[in-house]
Amino acid sequence: MRVLLVEDEERLAELLRNGLAEEGFAVDVALNGRDGLWLAGENRYDAIVLDVLLPLMNGYEVCRRLRDGGDWTPILMLTAKDGEYDEVEALDNGADDYLCKPFSYAVLLARLRALVRRGGRERPVAITVDDLVVDPAGLRCRRGDTEIALTPKEFAVLHALARRAGEVVSKAELLEQAWDFAYNGDPSIVEVYISALRRKIDTPFGRNSLVTVRGAGYRLDVRGTPGNARENPKRETTPERTRGR
Ligand code: CA
């Protein structure tokens, strides 16, 4: 059984490597996120033990990039309880399980074995919103029979919206899911991607499924009927949000 350990604390990495080797695991160690991502792409592992706080690329990002690239190797995330990072985030980013530091080696071993036994999780299923199909396993999108070419970032934004089709997703949530949880650049970058998406998934098809909900965010409409925004521009604003302004 082959395990990739991505951990920048060299002493801990060494201890874990030796311990796991004694249990019969073959262990590769990466001391930063970028090397970890590279190794994961080069080799097949039965599981990845991934620290969150890593130089060059944090564990969430490594995890998300693997998942975005269709790699479903089981991941055990090592989170630090410092208030800034949490377990939910680990799972949201595609980890299968998590352990809070400091942890006991026996618990890590048990969790790791359970993960390996369970194997990689199911590839995520494609999401269908009307005739729009968003397939995260293949990073593909189509409207009806027409394949739509999206950049990875456009795809990530659309996927975040499609997962919650019919609901309003805030700009902050989109930033968090499609960029980095620590992204602190200009939030208006989201608008740029929304516009690009509209030009690809709506305009050519005479649709208006990607709706701006003023002051709240964006919504991918379940019923993106042809041209209905132009006929009724007010529909973009929800009554709850405008009341009292
Ligand atoms: Ca660390």
Give the C-alpha separation, 207 to 187, whole Å. 26
Ligand 1 centroid, distance to 43 Cα (angstroms): 22
* Helix%, strand%, coil% for the chain, nearest 5: 40, 20, 40
DSSP 125: P
**Rounded to 10 degrees, what is the CA torsion of 101, 105, 109, 110?**
-80
What pLDDT is stored for residue 124 in this prediction? 66
CATH code of domain 127-244? 1.10.10.10
Phi, psi for 93 (deg, rounded to 5): -85, 5
Per-residue pLDDT tens digits of the chain, which is 245 residues long: 899 999 999 999 999 999 999 988 899 999 999 999 999 988 889 899 999 999 999 998 999 889 887 788 999 999 876 655 666 677 777 788 888 888 889 999 999 998 888 876 666 678 889 999 998 777 789 999 999 999 888 988 999 899 889 999 999 888 877 775 456 677 788 999 999 999 999 999 999 999 999 999 999 998 755 444 333 333 444 444 444 43
What pLDDT is stored for residue 227 in this prediction? 43
Q: Which CATH superfamily is domain 2-118 in?
A: Response regulator (3.40.50.2300)
Ligand 1 centroid, distance to 203 Cα (angstroms): 45
Q: C-alpha 70: how far from its chain's center?
A: 11
Give the C-alpha separation, 134 to 125, whole Å. 9
Ligand 1 centroid, distance to 33 Cα (angstroms): 10
What pLDDT is stored for residue 76 in this prediction? 94
Phi, psi for 113 (deg, rounded to 5): -60, -40
Ligand 1 centroid, distance to 80 Cα (angstroms): 8
Tokens of residue 121, six digits: 């999780």
Read off the pTM.
Answer: 0.53
Dihedral sign from CA coordinates of 208, 210, 212, 216: positive
Question: Would you say the CATH fold of 127-244 matches that of 2-118?
Answer: no
Contact 66, 73 (CB under 8 A): yes
Ligand 1 centroid, distance to 19 Cα (angstroms): 19
What pLDDT is stored for residue 244 in this prediction? 40
Q: What length is written for the chain?
A: 245
Ligand 1 centroid, distance to 53 Cα (angstroms): 4
Contact 144, 131 (CB under 8 A): yes
What pLDDT is stored for residue 237 in this prediction? 40
Give the C-alpha separation, 229 to 125, whole Å. 30
Nearest Cα to Cα of residue 147 among 156, 130, 165, 135: 135
Contact 208, 220 (CB under 8 A): no
Segments making up each domain of the chain, as ranges? 2-118, 127-244
Ligand 1 centroid, distance to 163 Cα (angstroms): 31
What pLDDT is stored for residue 93 in this prediction? 73
Contact 90, 79 (CB under 8 A): yes
